[in-house]
Amino acid sequence: MRTQKSSNNKINTNIIKKTAKKLGFDFCGIAPATKLTTEKHRYEKWLSMKCHGKMGYLNKNLSLRFNPSLLLDNARSVISLAVNYYPAKKQNPETKYRISKYAYGKDYHLVLKEKLLHLLDHIYEQSGNVNGRAFVDSAPVMEKSWAQKAGLGWIGKNGCLIIPQYGSFVFLCELIIDIELEYDKPFQKNRCGNCTLCIEICPSGAISKEGFVNAQKCISYLNIEMKDHIDENAGHNLFNWVFGCDICQDICPWNRFARPENKNLFGINKKILDLTNKQWENLSKEKYISYIKNTNSVMTRIKYEKLKNNIQICRK
Ligand code: B12
């Protein structure tokens, strides 16, 4: 009986990993759906230091965040998936106004949710009596910690999950399901070693020596997640980044392994990448709607007025 169960687990695991590859996920690892205790302590310390700024949602649903069984009854396995998004095309080099690589194409939430639901359907068809839930960024799920536990990589000093031989330009997402599978070993080592390049280069000093990212100082918090307009008098500087920031990832030596995404999962929004300085500065609401809103760009995370404010701050 026991052997039968473990051979079923193995078959299910192999099928899930093969299907994930077919659907375009670059990495797939699986961890048992246990409570996260070490992470909880670090997270609470992070909150107590007010590193979350005004992202009030990070201070809510704490019990769910560290206990997958509260997200899904009888949760047994967390399937952690990663997709490379390193783009094949660069932004117009003459443009002063920078956007983060994660915004070069279609919104990853939309692209990955669809793929996750296909994978979940496949698991239902294959294994019958299974319940599961799919997550991309949208719920209280510790995505980087699960990826580390599922053996994908380690959490670097820059606060990003780094995959050896690949780097950190990957999106993460998960399925939590109520059947047991074969589990991967957690990624044990932190391979950042003595390197402190990301800490030194971050122009706003957002990364502490212990590897805590203080979102309140992080450029991508200031220009995306902080919904208020930037107060120039508070000394905030966006260092030419109008949406997100890649400074701490571009400098990371592990990202020399980054290879351009070749499955065209997210596409390339040429209209945005090719904008000249003048076009950025004169961006009208109509252009915002046609270039950003109507193209399912992740840049719709900020309203037109916020984008204009970011451009204004960078213009000086
Ligand atoms: C809030 C948030 C932010 C905040 C805070 C950033 C941060 N580093 O946490 C802001 C707005 C600044 C942000 C920015 C970005 N984000 Co963001 N963000 C999130 C979000 C929604 C939650 C992350 C979170 O809980 N942070 C709070 C901190 C405390 O948690 P944590 O870093 O996970 O830390 C825990 C563990 O790392 C662990 N830990 C860390 N180090 C160590 C060391 C030891 C020894 C131990 C024991 C434990 C440990 O303990 C910590 C506490 O529990 C996730 C999605 C999700 N649901 O997970 C995306 C996510 C982390 N973001 C993502 C991305 C792409 C970005 C940007 C690159 C976007 C951009 N280009 O502008 C930047 C990168 C900035 C940076 N250097 O981190 C990706 C990262 C992919 C990856 N490879 O890691 C995620 C996973 C979204 C996704 N689905 O793909 N983000």
Q: How far is the CA of 83 from the centre of ligand 1 (A)?
A: 16
Which of 220, 246, 265 to mutate to test ligand 1, by most ligand atoms within 8 A of the CB atom? 220
- Tell me what the mean pLDDT of segment 278-289 comes to: 98
Per-residue pLDDT at 223 exceeds 50: yes
In percent, the amount of the chain with pLDDT more than 90 equals: 89
User: What atom of ligand 1 comes closest to residue 141's alpha carbon?
Assistant: 57
Q: Which of 251, 162, 243, 164 is nearest to 203 (CA)?
A: 251
Per-residue pLDDT at 227 exceeds 50: yes
Confidence band, pLDDT 50/70/90 cuts, at residue 53: very high
Q: How far is the CA of 159 from the centre of ligand 1 (A)?
A: 6
- Tell me what the mean pLDDT of segment 224-244 comes to: 89
pLDDT in tens, 78-126: 999 999 999 999 999 999 999 999 999 999 999 999 999 999 999 999 8
Q: Are strands 161-162 and 170-177 parallel, antiparallel or unpaired?
A: unpaired
Q: Are strands 170-177 and 132-135 parallel, antiparallel or unpaired?
A: antiparallel
Confidence band, pLDDT 50/70/90 cuts, at residue 18: very high
Q: What is the pTM of this model?
A: 0.96
* Residue minimizing CA distance to atom 25 of ligand 1: 142
Catalytic residue among 107, 137, 228, 250: 137
Q: Is the CB of 80 under 6 A from ligand 1?
A: no
In percent, the amount of the chain with pLDDT more than 70 equals: 98
Q: Is the CB of 215 under 6 A from ligand 1?
A: yes
Q: What is the pLDDT of residue 307?
A: 97
Q: What is the pLDDT of residue 6?
A: 65
Measured over the CA atoms of residue 143, residue 149, residue 153 and residue 158, the dihedral's sign is positive
Confidence band, pLDDT 50/70/90 cuts, at residue 1: very low
Q: Is the CB of 168 under 6 A from ligand 1?
A: yes
**CA-CA distance, 129 to 14, in Å (whole number)?**
18
H or E element, residue 155: strand 154-155
**CA-CA distance, 265 to 102, in Å (whole number)?**
12
Q: How far is the CA of 144 from the centre of ligand 1 (A)?
A: 7
Beta bridge partners of 167: 163
Q: What is the pLDDT of residue 5?
A: 65
Please say if 231 is a catalytic residue.
no
Which of 54, 59, 141, 143 to mutate to test ligand 1, by most ligand atoms within 8 A of the CB atom? 143
Alpha helices (runs of H) in 133-291, residue ranges in sequence order:
143-149, 197-201, 219-220, 247-250, 270-273, 277-281, 285-291
Q: Which of 220, 229, 268 is nearest to 248 (CA)?
A: 220
Q: Is the CB of 213 under 6 A from ligand 1?
A: yes
Contact predicate 219/46, CB 8 Å: no
Return mean pLDDT, the chain: 95
Per-residue pLDDT at 222 exceeds 90: yes
Per-residue pLDDT at 3 exceeds 70: no
Q: Is the CB of 304 under 6 A from ligand 1?
A: no
